[in-house]
């Protein structure tokens, strides 16, 4: 059984790496990887292939940046050509980026069994591009692999039959478990000049937070408040850096005392930075899960989450009010010892990819398969 796994943007790489490893180790499965090229900078893409031990992608569509419509339309046209040449037995998509929905639309229409890993997550906020990507992908894929209990509930509410859904755990946590020890040996803390548990790690890149001047000014204020307590380490996403430049605020950002502005980091470096942070402030989806596993307090700069288990069981605090003054109160409360301890959610044990490999092999060999 030949499986073609799709990656496009940074959060996909750490999800596909353990799947590729598990497929290659399985006697009935063979694995290839296709990169749409949505993320193209070496620091947003190549470094992850190297650090995660993935082969160079077998296919690269070279799409690059552009509006979401441009990205998806071009991915669809080029992906159709690839599928016409080489028909895999299964196409596998992960997460909720543009590549996820664009590729699943093409392969499903061509009658190729298509499966979605990290299915069923819902923020309830359709103004997020990822929410639309999730809903469409789940509606059309043949089999759905779920990371947390809320995914089962959401899919059942949307009328997906039980036999199309498997609760397998979290492949991104597979990567974390696999690479945590290697990351611990990385010299990033010494290179950055910070000590364990004495800094706040920050990431921010959602269009809702960084595409308007008002949002950028709120972020500046939050960093100023945070830097009063501890050094702030901020690896800045290209979207965010471009927008600070565009609104003439980049110098204000650089001028904040106690802020260490870094380029986007590699997987191992960022994992070590997370593992040793006193607190993480983010608007990422995946970081909410990684901090829950690492039991590091996380403040999520969003008023909804598609990953509620990170709030219910984990260390995540959602900022229902994004006002910097409210964020300051919450931050001070956490830093003064009022963080949650949290527990690790069910099946987040480093073996999700193996479960997916076994399930795919089983589905494929069953005559009345739902694939
Ligand atoms: C995408 C995903 C988002 C994910 C994020 C992680 C979608 C809808 N969004 O958002 O879910 O959390 O990736 O990073 O798929 N850019 C570069 N170099 C790069 C990549 C991007 O300069 O290597 C620039 C682009 O040209 C663009 C901006 O950054 O100006 C945003 O990139 P884009 O791929 O549109 O979306 P992200 O914000 O990265």
Answer whether 189's CB lies under 8 Å from 274's CB.
no
Of residues 271, 273, 328, 276, the one with CA closest to residue 299 = 328
Instruction: Band the pLDDT of 365: cuts 50, 70, 90.
Output: confident
End-to-end CA distance of the chain: 12
* Gap between the Cα atoms of 115 and 142, Å rounded: 6
pLDDT for residue 125: 95
Going by the DSSP 8-state scheme, the letter that residue 103 receives in this structure is H
- How many A from CA of 209 to the centre of ligand 1? 14
DSSP state of 303: S
Name the residue with tokens 């995660």.
52
302 lines ligand 1 (CB under 6 A): no
Instruction: Single out the residue of 90, 55, 11 nearest to residue 306, CA to CA.
Output: 11
Ligand 1 close to Cβ of residue 132 (< 6 A):
no
Test site for ligand 1: of 238, 241, 245, most ligand atoms within 8 A of the Cβ: 238
The enclosing H or E element of 255 equals none
DSSP string, 165-194: EEE---HHHHHHHHHHHHHHT-THHHHHT-
- Which of 7, 134, 215, 239 is the pocket-test mutation for ligand 1 (most atoms within 8 Å of CB)? 239
Distance in angstroms (rounded) separating the CA atoms of residues 232 and 201: 6
What count of other Cβ atoms lies within 10 Å of the Cβ of residue 334? Answer: 20
Cα 84–chain centre separation: 30
pLDDT average, residue stretch 265-288: 98
Q: What is the pLDDT of residues 285-317, one digit of tens each?
A: 999 999 999 999 999 999 999 999 999 999 999
Kindly state the average pLDDT of the residues 324-353: 94
- pLDDT band (50, 70, 90) for residue 201: very high
pLDDT tens-digit map of 33-88: 999 999 999 999 999 999 999 999 999 999 999 999 999 999 999 999 999 999 99
What is the pTM for the complete model shown? 0.96
d(CA 193, ligand 1 centre) in Å: 29
Going by alpha carbons, the residue nearest to atom 20 of ligand 1 is 39
9 lines ligand 1 (CB under 6 A): yes
pLDDT band at 320 (very low <50, low <70, confident <90, very high): confident
Sign of CA dihedral 279, 281, 282, 285: positive
Q: Is the pLDDT of residue 367 over 70?
A: no
Output the CA 97–ligand 1 centroid distance in Å.
Answer: 9
Question: How much is the average pLDDT of 323-342?
Answer: 91
Distance CA 236, CA 216 (A): 13
Q: What is the whole-number distance in angstroms between the Cα of residue 239 and the centre of ligand 1?
A: 7
Of all protein residues, whose CA lies closest to atom 15 belonging to ligand 1?
A: 97
Q: What does the pLDDT average to over 346-367? A: 94
More confident residue, 370 or 11: 11
Least confident of 213-227, 283-297, 321-335: 321-335
Q: How many CA atoms lie within 13 A of 270 on its CB side?
A: 28
Percentage of the chain beyond pLDDT 70 is 99
Q: What is the pLDDT of residues 116-175, one digit of tens each?
A: 999 999 999 999 999 999 999 999 999 999 999 999 999 999 999 999 999 999 999 999
Summary mean pLDDT of the chain? 96
Residues identified as active-site: 205
Distance of CA 169 from the midpoint of ligand 1 (Å): 26
For residue 369, what pLDDT is reported? 73
CA dist 361 and 75 (Å) reads 28
Q: Residue 35 C-alpha to ligand 1 middle, in angstroms? A: 14
CA distances from 196 to 163, 229, 256 (A): 46, 15, 22
* Ligand 1 neighbour 44 (Cβ under 6 A): yes
Q: Is 306 helix (H, G, I), strand (E, B) or coil?
A: coil
- For residue 95, the ligand 1 atom closest to its alpha carbon is 11
pLDDT the model gives residue 368: 65
* CA distances in angstroms from 67 to 16, 212, 216, 286, listed in the order given: 25, 17, 21, 23
Residue 370 has pLDDT above 90, yes or no: no
**Residue of 7, 8, 13, 38 with the most ligand 1 atoms within 8 Å of its CB, for mutation:** 38
């Amino acid at each position: 059984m030949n499986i073609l796994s799709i990656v496009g943007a940074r959060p996909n790489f750490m999800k596909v790496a353990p799947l590729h490893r598990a497929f290659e180790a399985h006697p009935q499965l063979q694995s290839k990887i296709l990169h749409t090229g949505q993320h193209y900078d070496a620091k947003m893409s190549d470094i992850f292939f190297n650090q995660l031990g993935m082969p160079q992608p077998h296919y690269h569509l070279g799409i690059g940046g552009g509006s979401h419509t441009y990205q998806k339309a071009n991915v669809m046209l080029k992906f159709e050509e690839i599928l016409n040449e080489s028909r895999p037995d299964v196409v596998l998509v992960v997460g909720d980026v543009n590549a996820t929905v664009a590729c699943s639309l093409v392969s499903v229409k061509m009658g190729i069994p298509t499966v979605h890993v990290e299915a069923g997550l819902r923020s309830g906020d359709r103004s997020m591009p990822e929410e639309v990507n999730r809903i469409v992908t789940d509606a059309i894929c043949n089999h759905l692999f779920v990371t947390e209990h809320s995914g089962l509930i959401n899919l059942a509410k949307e009328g997906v039959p039980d036999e199309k859904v498997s609760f397998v755990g979290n492949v991104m946590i597979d990567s974390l478990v696999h690479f945590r020890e290697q990351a611990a040996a990385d010299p990033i803390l010494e290179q950055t000049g910070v000590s364990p548990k004495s800094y706040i790690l920050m990431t921010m890149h959602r269009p809702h937070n960084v595409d308007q001047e008002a949002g950028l000014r709120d972020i500046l204020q939050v960093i100023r408040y945070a830097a009063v307590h501890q050094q702030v380490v901020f690896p800045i996403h290209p979207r965010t850096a471009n927008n600070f430049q565009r609104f003439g605020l980049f110098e204000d950002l650089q001028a904040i005392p106690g802020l260490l502005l870094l380029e986007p980091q590699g997987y191992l470096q960022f994992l070590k930075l997370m593992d040793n942070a006193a607190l993480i402030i983010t608007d990422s989806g995946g970081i909410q899960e990684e901090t829950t596993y690492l039991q590091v307090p996380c403040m999520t700069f969003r008023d909804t989450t598609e990953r509620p288990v990170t709030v219910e069981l984990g260390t995540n605090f959602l900022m229902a009010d994004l006002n910097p003054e409210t964020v300051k109160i919450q931050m001070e409360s956490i830093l003064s010892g009022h963080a949650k301890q949290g527990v690790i959610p069910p099946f987040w044990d480093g073996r999700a990819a193996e479960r997916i490999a076994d399930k795919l092999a089983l589905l494929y060999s069953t005559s009345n398969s739902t694939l």
